[in-house]
Structure 1
Amino acid sequence: MKQQLKPISISLLIYIAFVILIGWKLTWFSNQSDTLFSQYGIIEMFKRLFNFFINDASFSPLREGILLVSFGAIILVSFWTIFLKFRQQLIALLVLDFVLSFIILADAIYFRYFEDLISSAVLLQIKQMSSLGSSVGDLFSWKDFLLFADVLLFTALLIVFFKKVQLKKNANPALRLATGLLAGAAGAWLFFYPLHDFVQKGGAYLFDKTLSSMRVYEVTGLFGFHGFDTYKYLDEYVLNKKEVSAKDRKDAKQWFDDKTKEKVVQTLYEGKAAGKNLIMVQLEAYQSFVIDKKVNGQEITPNLNKLKKESLYFNDIHHQTASGRTSDAEFSANTSLYPLATGSAYVRFPRNEYDSLPYILKENGYDTAAFHAYKPGFWNRYIVYPNLGFNEFHSIEDFDEGEQVGWAIGDESFLTQSADKMKDMKDPFYSFLIALTSHYPYTMPAKYQTLDIDDVGDVNLRNYLQSVHYVDQAIGTFIEKLKKDGLWENSVVVFYGDHDTGYMQSKTPSTIFANEEGDQLGELEVKDGIPLFMHVPGVEGKEIDKAGGQIDIMPTLLHLFGLEKKNYHHIGNNLLDGKEGSVVFRYGSVKTDSYYYKSSYDLKLQNGTCYDINTRQTVSVDTCKPLYDTSVEELSISDDVIFGNLVEQWHKTEK
């Protein structure tokens, strides 16, 4: 009997060491993402498990964190190694150690930039990640590779001692099988019972809608998320391709019909841009905290500060992007719909039809073109743009070779060359330009580092300020070019930011620099804040203090151009109508002119935080319930429109 127990005991000890080691790596990821791994220590957890089994205590406190599901997932992906003979088990565990460590590290690196996890939809965009080049490299720290220290050590030991690493007798196959099955059953319980308890207490919505990868992670753990995400992708796109139900289609149509019936507010701005050209420029990672800001007596954005006085400037606008980042911003600005929770609509649904801005302007006799000095295949733009209604797409191949600043030719050259190309367009026209120089990691050639800011923040903030200062100079050159070419006085010119810097986490030097209020609400407000300028010939400059987002850009422009009265399918609102402002963020948070609701990862109302913007204090979350209900409804409607390609269906029935 001892001869049988010894080999299985050694095998189990090695296996337990593996489980603990991977568990430690998951706690490392939890620290990296500032998420809760366990509310209790190991000893306290076992005490509570004992009370649950013996004294019928509540299980819910055990779900405060992801310790149970995380260890359950580790066991579920590895218990089969116990079935193997000793040396085979060592090799299998070593391979698993490498694979699981790689997944943990990849998610950590991705989270540092996107504050999200790598989903199946994101993997479809992997070529976008490869184009990030040095940007990805800058997200790494040498300490990250300590995750693989054990893999290298054990690989070396296994190579040296491979022939010696064996027992005189392997455990009885039946004993290995029974032990492995018992471990698998324990893993299944640890993983599935917490999920069962969560679903039983009303959590099924989280898996039905999947509004956020991080919200799923907060319940399933890292490996559990990837398992669920893979299952969901295969179910929706391979086995049972997701279809929007007839009821959801009907509800969505009714929602838009009701919105259309709302009384249109007449304003002094309506039709002021009728017949004008539209030139809209999306600025890379441009945030509103730099506008009118001085550092060591120097204006960071002198040209935009000047433009602000001559334009409609919206001072409470926020980006609404998710993992699609830049593509999400241009998608929302041109369709007035929300981006997807995971992945980019450009990649997942590149041939969808929308009531887009270029489509509408084209219907009204406009020539349309998009300009971006980068690869045409990036974010599927060469496929998406014709479907959106752009007649032409000028990508990197269409621009003269110029000085590379950042990813491509500098914004000054890009903008002036684009202005030259506009002279060949038919009036009136819509030109959509995507600037690129101020892209992460914001490192600029020394000759363009013209701000004296060596004593400001950290290197990340200093690099960012130098890059946006350069782009501001490029904008000044661009405006002068438009004036010289006679385009300025006959064009509405729009500038807005696409997303945040990536450095706006709590208490970072960038957030501290931006947050003049110095409180927690201030952190939330500056984190997603972006500038929005609309220069309209003949309209005096005015600063408009109203909460809004990128989905509101298009309805506002349609109002200015006098084209908003048709039954278009837009979720955004006209920022000029004088009504209460509101902006819904992709992951459930909502800001109005009066309140800010910060959603929790589990998307439960009671677990969020509600701020009164006037007093800057927290109030009962029930105060923010209407905001919460709005976010859930609007995000769901938008997702149904995209997943079901509903606009195309509605266009067919309207003809």
Structure 2
Amino acid sequence: MNNIKLKIKDKIHFKINDKTKSYIDKLMLSIKNNLDLILFLIIIYVKVMHYGKQISPDYFYAKVDRPIIASILILVSFFTLFKQSRRIKLLFTLDILISLILIADIVYFRYYKDVITVSAVKNVKLLTGVSASVKSLINVKDFLYLIDIVFLAPIIKKFKVANNNKKMFLRKACMFMATLLIGVVMDTQSVYAVSKEQPTLISSMSDRVYLTKMIGNINFHAIDAYNFVSTSIKNSSKLSTAREQEIKDFLAKNNESTGTNFTGTAEGKNLIMIQVEALQGFVINQKINGQEITPNLNRWVNKSMYFDNYFYQVAGGNTSDAEFMSNNSLYPAESGAAYYSYSGNTYSSLAKELKEKQYNTAAFHANNEGFWNRNVMYPVQGFDKFYGQHSFNIDENVGLGLSDKSFLNQSLDKLKTLKQPYYSFLVTLSSHYPYDDTKGYGDFNVGEYEGTLLGNYLKGIHYTDQQLGTFLDKLEKEKILDNSIVVLYGDHFAIPKDNEQELYKFEKINNATDYDWVKNQKVPMFIHFPGDENKGVNHTYSSQMDLYPTLANMFNLPRQYMLGKDILNGNSGKVVFRNGSFTNGKVFYVSWTNTYYDVKTGEKIPETEALKAEKEQYLKELQYSDDILNHNLIKTFKGK
């Protein structure tokens, strides 16, 4: 009896083992047949996660692994339908493509502190003029994104492809549907969570870095591509009458006069505006090894009305964005550069309105005329003449091209030929990133910062300061300033986010927060009046968007289509950045971490209903600006 029981037990045990072995064999076969898909998912996941940590080492959203996996599953699902031999080659190609996009993204982020978009890619031809800048941003470690390609290439050649049975089509279809469904459900939940937290973020893409950290790089590019196509389709149609009226009402209210301080004080006088390449605020009135970094600008700051809380607001268009805002008081393009994307629009710009008052208008910049599409945009904005690279004798090169010394000397000669009154707009070049022309910059002892990016920058801006001092002194000596208003400001940051520790060390900032970064993103701006009148420091929180409204008041120009404010009449402290960050002079909101800081204490504070409403209002204003550009509304409004 016992023997019979043992035999039955043995048979059952044998069957169970046999069944388990069968399942294991099937599982192993399935893994083998889909090893390429599994490897692809793991490799791309590691790369995208690594990228996320690179752009945000201090604030990395841990739950981002869910949308990253989901986005890869969606990609993988489509490849389950292919025969394995073809599938492996396609996955290998896609791996290379994603790796190259990640490398482009990280290089772009180092300079622009942003994520590259479809619209930005349209400007890639503009990088030919700054190839040295691009090369300096590339790190050898970036090519680690391609390291798996090197190892996988020979393995793929030797990989034995499993037999593809036609009867497996149904199984493949089921696998496709299951993988796609899992990916879509996971992804939808993640994207919905972001849209619930910040309702306009997905559509406006106002803070691309924050969005990428929340949903991953692949999802970001998919949404960006969708938004680009849908926006192009939407913009090809007419904006609704109700939306037009809403924007028109906002502009009317925003451009109401807030006071009469300095109204008309500059009427009839020349306007000489100088935009200085990479002039950041931290160098003003600063010394290194007992030497002033910008002795000449320091001197002219003391002879002028100086704004020490003046922020740059550039986006993908960088230097061209600074020009665009200062001359139009419209925000930079949502993606790419307004100078390139909206060169066919109608503007009510500073040069154009001064021309209506019989001013002669001229722009001066020694770079290639076509760079940033200036040869098109300057005439569109009302400049009668554009003195570009071919208008100058290229007798001395410093940095990217003609030295500031030669540029300013030659510009002065041209300036003297202009019939008064005139508006001359000058853009310098020598202090351009990556500040590697240290021989051209001359001798300036930067001490412990020798050989660093910050040290090279200090040399570059010290050189430019010398040339600006000489130029301004000549204007004064030749009595040109007796009937001229001079405006001088920096265009954008000098030290990229990637080198923030050098800036913090120089500024003696320990345990830096995001607020320490944003509060340092100021550029100098001063307005010099004849006879050094009205000199002093203005502490109002202001920005590049506010320059044109301020000058419009001084020169008695019409104010109809400006989104900025007159700094000399009012103290709202409002500064809105393209990524959705803002300050009102009391609170600073950092969009990429969704955090509020008290300006006085630098401490984090909770979001209130009032602050949330303020944030939503400013995002709405950014969208108004986008609609004005996308639908050429100034032309429409002027026509009506």
User: Same fold, TM exceeding 0.5?
Assistant: yes
Letter in 2 for 1:10: K
CA deviation after TM superposition for structure 1 residue 390, in Å: 0.7
Q: Residue 306 of structure 1 aligns with which residue?
A: 299
User: Alignment RMSD, CA only?
Assistant: 2.6
Q: Give the Cα separation in 1 of the matches to 2:190 and 2:515.
A: 36
Q: Residue 17 of structure 1 aligns with which residue?
A: 39
Query: Does the alignment pair 1:579 with 2:577?
Result: no
CA deviation after TM superposition for structure 1 residue 642, in Å: 1.6
Alignment of 1:206-217 (within 5 A): 206-217=201-212
Q: Residue 293 of structure 1 aligns with which residue?
A: 286
The alpha-carbon distance between structure 1 residues 26 and 518, as it changes in their structure 2 partners (threshold 3 A), is closer
Query: Does the alignment pair 1:259 with 2:251?
Result: no
Query: Does the alignment pair 1:33 with 2:55?
Result: yes
Alignment of 1:563-642 (within 5 A): 563-564=556-557, 566-600=558-592, 607-611=594-598, 613-622=599-608, 624-625=611-612, 627-642=614-629
Q: Residue 18 of structure 2 aligns with which residue?
A: none
Point out the more displaced range, 213-222 or 551-560.
213-222
Point out the more displaced range, 72-81 or 468-477.
72-81
8 Å Cα contact 2:329/2:545 also seen in 1: yes
Q: Residue 94 of structure 1 aligns with which residue?
A: 92
Q: Give the Cα separation in 1 of the matches to 2:378 and 2:30.
A: 61
Q: Residue 59 of structure 1 aligns with which residue?
A: none
The alpha-carbon distance between structure 1 residues 526 and 652, as it changes in their structure 2 partners (threshold 3 A), is same
Q: Give the Cα separation in 2 of the matches to 1:462 and 1:305.
A: 19
Letter in 1 for 2:542: G
Query: Does the alignment pair 1:557 with 2:551?
Result: yes
Letter in 1 for 2:639: K
Letter in 2 for 1:592: N
Q: Give the Cα separation in 1 of the matches to 2:84 and 2:569.
A: 73
Point out the more displaced range, 11-20 or 574-583.
574-583
CA deviation after TM superposition for structure 1 residue 627, in Å: 4.1
Q: Give the Cα separation in 1 of the matches to 2:514 and 2:100.
A: 36
After superposition, what is the alpha-carbon deviation per residue over 1:472-513, rounded to whole angstroms, capped at 9, x for unaligned?
011012123323544232221111011112434685111332
CA deviation after TM superposition for structure 1 residue 368, in Å: 0.5
Q: Give the Cα separation in 1 of the matches to 2:602 and 2:59.
A: 30
The alpha-carbon distance between structure 1 residues 357 and 173, as it changes in their structure 2 partners (threshold 3 A), is same
Q: Give the Cα separation in 2 of the matches to 1:36 and 1:311.
A: 40
Letter in 1 for 2:37: Y
Q: Residue 114 of structure 1 aligns with which residue?
A: 112
Q: Residue 78 of structure 1 aligns with which residue?
A: 76
Alignment of 1:42-57 (within 5 A): none
CA deviation after TM superposition for structure 1 residue 121, in Å: 0.8
Structure 1, unmatched stretches of 5+, are: 41-64, 602-606
The alpha-carbon distance between structure 1 residues 597 and 149, as it changes in their structure 2 partners (threshold 3 A), is closer
Point out the more displaced range, 86-95 or 644-653.
86-95
Q: Give the Cα separation in 1 of the matches to 2:340 and 2:93.
A: 32
Alignment of 1:335-346 (within 5 A): 335-346=328-339
CA deviation after TM superposition for structure 1 residue 177, in Å: 3.5
CA deviation after TM superposition for structure 1 residue 17, in Å: 1.6
Q: Residue 537 of structure 2 aligns with which residue?
A: 543
Point out the more displaced range, 184-193 or 409-418.
184-193
Aligned counterpart in structure 2 of residue 246 of structure 1, from 241, 246, 269: 241
After superposition, what is the alpha-carbon deviation per residue over 1:105-148, rounded to whole angstroms, capped at 9, x for unaligned?
11111111111111111011111223320211111111111111
Q: Residue 407 of structure 1 aligns with which residue?
A: 400
Structure 2, unmatched stretches of 5+, are: 1-21
Q: Give the Cα separation in 2 of the matches to 1:626 and 1:82.
A: 47
Q: Give the Cα separation in 2 of the matches to 1:341 and 1:514.
A: 32
CA deviation after TM superposition for structure 1 residue 349, in Å: 1.0
Q: Give the Cα separation in 1 of the matches to 2:90 and 2:280.
A: 48
- SS of match in other structure, 1:530: coil
8 Å Cα contact 1:284/1:499 also seen in 2: yes
Equivalenced residue count is 615
CA deviation after TM superposition for structure 1 residue 36, in Å: 8.8
8 Å Cα contact 2:208/2:579 also seen in 1: no
Query: Does the alignment pair 1:501 with 2:487?
Result: no
Alignment of 1:329-478 (within 5 A): 329-446=322-439, 448-456=441-449, 459-478=452-471
What TM-score comes out, normalization by structure 1 length? 0.88
- SS of match in other structure, 2:523: strand
Q: Give the Cα separation in 1 of the matches to 2:547 and 2:282.
A: 19
Q: Residue 634 of structure 2 aligns with which residue?
A: 647
Point out the more displaced range, 216-225 or 311-320.
216-225
Q: Give the Cα separation in 1 of the matches to 2:163 and 2:201.
A: 51
- SS of match in other structure, 1:131: helix
Q: Give the Cα separation in 1 of the matches to 2:584 and 2:59.
A: 33
After superposition, what is the alpha-carbon deviation per residue over 1:168-194, rounded to whole angstroms, capped at 9, x for unaligned?
666853233433333233222232232
Letter in 2 for 1:127: K
The alpha-carbon distance between structure 1 residues 351 and 323, as it changes in their structure 2 partners (threshold 3 A), is same
Query: Does the alignment pair 1:229 with 2:224?
Result: yes
8 Å Cα contact 1:116/1:214 also seen in 2: yes
Q: Give the Cα separation in 1 of the matches to 2:237 and 2:323.
A: 25
CA deviation after TM superposition for structure 1 residue 202, in Å: 6.1
The alpha-carbon distance between structure 1 residues 636 and 85, as it changes in their structure 2 partners (threshold 3 A), is closer
- SS of match in other structure, 1:573: coil
Letter in 2 for 1:195: V
Letter in 2 for 1:552: D
Q: Give the Cα separation in 2 of the matches to 1:37 and 1:172.
A: 49
Greater C-alpha Rg: 2
Aligned counterpart in structure 2 of residue 205 of structure 1, from 190, 200, 212: 200
Letter in 2 for 1:194: S
8 Å Cα contact 2:398/2:430 also seen in 1: yes
After superposition, what is the alpha-carbon deviation per residue over 1:190-241, rounded to whole angstroms, capped at 9, x for unaligned?
3223224544x46542223332322432443211111111112112214763
- SS of match in other structure, 2:445: coil
CA deviation after TM superposition for structure 1 residue 272, in Å: 2.6
After superposition, what is the alpha-carbon deviation per residue over 1:559-581, rounded to whole angstroms, capped at 9, x for unaligned?
222x14x3421121222225343
8 Å Cα contact 1:7/1:170 also seen in 2: no
8 Å Cα contact 1:285/1:439 also seen in 2: yes
Letter in 2 for 1:27: M
Sequence identity (%): 32
Letter in 1 for 2:381: L
- SS of match in other structure, 1:132: helix
Aligned counterpart in structure 2 of residue 123 of structure 1, from 111, 121, 124: 121
- SS of match in other structure, 2:200: helix
After superposition, what is the alpha-carbon deviation per residue over 1:601-638, rounded to whole angstroms, capped at 9, x for unaligned?
6xxxxx43131x33443333226346424422322222
Point out the more displaced range, 520-529 or 220-229.
520-529
8 Å Cα contact 2:276/2:427 also seen in 1: yes
Query: Does the alignment pair 1:279 with 2:272?
Result: yes
CA deviation after TM superposition for structure 1 residue 516, in Å: 6.3
Letter in 2 for 1:210: M
Point out the more displaced range, 128-137 or 14-23.
128-137
Q: Give the Cα separation in 2 of the matches to 1:641 and 1:205.
A: 18
Letter in 2 for 1:621: E
CA deviation after TM superposition for structure 1 residue 558, in Å: 2.1
The alpha-carbon distance between structure 1 residues 71 and 642, as it changes in their structure 2 partners (threshold 3 A), is same
- SS of match in other structure, 2:448: coil
Q: Give the Cα separation in 2 of the matches to 1:19 and 1:251.
A: 47
Q: Residue 7 of structure 2 aligns with which residue?
A: none
Letter in 2 for 1:588: G
8 Å Cα contact 1:338/1:635 also seen in 2: yes
Q: Residue 50 of structure 1 aligns with which residue?
A: none
The alpha-carbon distance between structure 1 residues 313 and 27, as it changes in their structure 2 partners (threshold 3 A), is same
